[in-house]
């Protein structure tokens, strides 16, 4: 089920809110049970059979958490249970997401006539697997208590606001709120406003730009140099507003139910280095790898060679986490090279004047955009073909009538996307909230008008899922 669908907006969300705040307003335990069942229903809406994978994950990680807690209570570290949790969760992820890819790349080792299974990918499996792992790892590290009630573990892993495409909520962030959260009107209305902002990002900006990005990548050999750059720019902005829009909706919905998730984006396209970009983009994934992989391996407090190995491991895993395709491996390794170069030259910490800062921002955006070309491409061959189109390799000239026509059509969403990829909206909102109440009313009136426009657009448009649903 999509947040940006009439089914969710007209039926699911109102029904859940009615039961949660109406029928069950005095019963915390029943609220948690109902929210867990609603989340499982939300997940099962499109592919009912995959809810069994979710239920297996909940049950096993509940047992692993109890095992770790029992081991610690008896004076043992619980290392065996924690190791079992890591092996189990990564094995499930490997079977569903990487087994077919691995077998296709090892066909030379397989006997003749061996049939490689095509295994369907449960939606959002990378997100809920990492959340499940976070639960056991945080219990092991003493950063959250083991939940004796399996419903509470189920609520943490399956909570529908962030279930499909994040942010990856760490157990330590919400461990207390699972049982002791306090819902209030301020959080509810702030959460709904945040949800609305995310919906606007997805429907009015990301979906509008996707038309041009999808055309460019689907017709790579037929587009001019200018159209290739237009497609790359549109995808760069599309994926930001698509993913950050989902994160805004997830954070807003969580707040409506009393949960406070951490931010997942911080205007990454204003970064002055690739290192800074990854502190601002998909923050929950970056901090997950930092705290559970990079730091345990020694981080940067090791020899230079070991530091390089640590960086290589993290960025190889980051690429692989995104999908079973060599393009994601190449994308992750590209960032390993760039980040290693910045760290060992000090570029990410160097202070520069206005011109130097502008140059650094240009360099960062250029490599981020080239990275998105790799990310979007179906194969490495497609990537090179698209890079070729960007430098005129198609031999079709710099621009043509198709480019000029589509540029005119894309101009308004492009300009809006560029503007709101910078902290303009935050600046205006803060000014309004510190000035007269009439300006605050104006802000919410504009937000409501855009919400209505977004809903109208949903009703008249075709199915357009979130990009990160694939991961």
Q: Are 232 and 401 in contact (CB under 8 A)?
A: no
Residue ranges in 149-184 assigned as alpha helix (H): 150-158, 171-174, 177-180
- For residue 400, give both structure tokens: 């043509």
- Count of CB atoms within 10 A of residue 70's CB? 13
Angle (deg, nearest 10), helices 51-73 and 150-158? 130
Distance CA 292, CA 26 (A): 38
Phi, psi for residue 396 in degrees, rounded to 5: -105, 10
Q: Which helix (H) or strand (E) is 275 found in, with range?
A: helix 274-280
Distance CA 169, CA 143 (A): 14
Phi/psi region, residue 395 (left: phi>0; alpha: psi -120 to 50; beta: rest), is left
Distance CA 85, CA 439 (A): 52
- For residue 77, give both structure tokens: 């570290």
- For residue 18, give both structure tokens: 């009615």
**Which residues contact residue 179 at a Cβ distance below 8 angstroms, ignoring those fewer than 6 apart?**
28, 32, 152
Single out the catalytic residue among 152, 282, 307, 322.
322
Asked about 322 being catalytic, the answer comes back as yes
Q: Could you give the residue numbers annotated as active site? A: 322
């Amino acid at each position: 089920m999509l947040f940006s669908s009439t089914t969710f907006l007209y039926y699911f969300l109102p029904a859940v809110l009615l039961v949660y705040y109406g029928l069950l307003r005095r019963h915390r335990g029943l609220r948690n049970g109902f929210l867990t069942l609603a989340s499982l229903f939300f997940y099962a809406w499109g592919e009912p059979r995959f809810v069994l994978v979710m239920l297996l994950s909940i049950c096993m990680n509940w047992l692993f958490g109890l095992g770790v807690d029992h081991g610690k209570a008896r004076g043992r570290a619980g290392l065996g249970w924690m190791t079992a949790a890591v092996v189990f969760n990564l094995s499930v992820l490997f079977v569903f997401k990487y087994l077919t890819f691995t077998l296709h790349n090892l066909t030379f080792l397989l006997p003749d006539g061996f049939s490689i299974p095509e295994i369907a990918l449960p939606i959002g499996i990378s997100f809920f697997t990492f959340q499940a792992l976070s639960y056991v790892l945080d219990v092991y590290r003493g950063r959250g208590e083991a939940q004796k009630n399996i419903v509470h573990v189920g609520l943490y892993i399956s909570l529908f606001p962030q279930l499909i495409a994040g942010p990856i909520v760490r157990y330590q962030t919400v461990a207390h709120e699972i049982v002791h959260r306090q819902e209030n009107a301020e959080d509810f209305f702030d959460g709904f406003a945040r949800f609305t902002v995310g919906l606007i990002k997805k429907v009015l900006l990301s979906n509008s730009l996707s038309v041009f990005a999808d055309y460019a990548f689907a017709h790579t050999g037929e587009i001019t140099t200018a159209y290739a750059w237009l497609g790359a720019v549109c995808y760069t902005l599309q994926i930001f507003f698509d993913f950050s829009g989902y994160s805004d909706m997830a954070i807003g919905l969580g707040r409506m139910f009393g949960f406070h998730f951490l931010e997942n984006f911080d205007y990454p396209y204003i970064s002055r280095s690739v290192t800074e970009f990854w502190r601002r983009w998909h923050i929950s994934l970056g901090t997950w790898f930092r705290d559970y992989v990079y730091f345990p391996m020694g981080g940067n407090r090791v020899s230079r060679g070991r530091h390089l190995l640590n960086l290589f491991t993290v960025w190889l895993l980051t690429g692989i986490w995104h999908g079973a395709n060599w393009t994601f491996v190449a994308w992750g390794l590209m960032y390993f090279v760039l980040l290693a170069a910045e760290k060992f030259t000090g570029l990410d910490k160097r202070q520069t004047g206005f011109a130097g800062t502008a140059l650094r921002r240009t360099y960062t955006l250029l490599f981020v955009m080239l990275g998105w070309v790799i990310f979007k491409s179906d194969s490495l061959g497609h990537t090179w073909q698209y890079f070729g189109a960007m430098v005129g390799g198609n031999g079709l000239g710099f621009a043509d009538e198709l480019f000029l026509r589509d540029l005119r059509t894309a101009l308004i969403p492009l300009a809006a996307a560029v503007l709101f990829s910078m902290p303009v909206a935050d600046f205006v909102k803060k000014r309004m909230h510190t000035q007269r109440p009439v300006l605050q009313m104006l802000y919410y009136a504009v937000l409501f008008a855009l919400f209505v426009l977004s809903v109208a657009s949903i009703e008249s448009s075709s199915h357009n899922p979130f990009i990160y649903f694939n991961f």
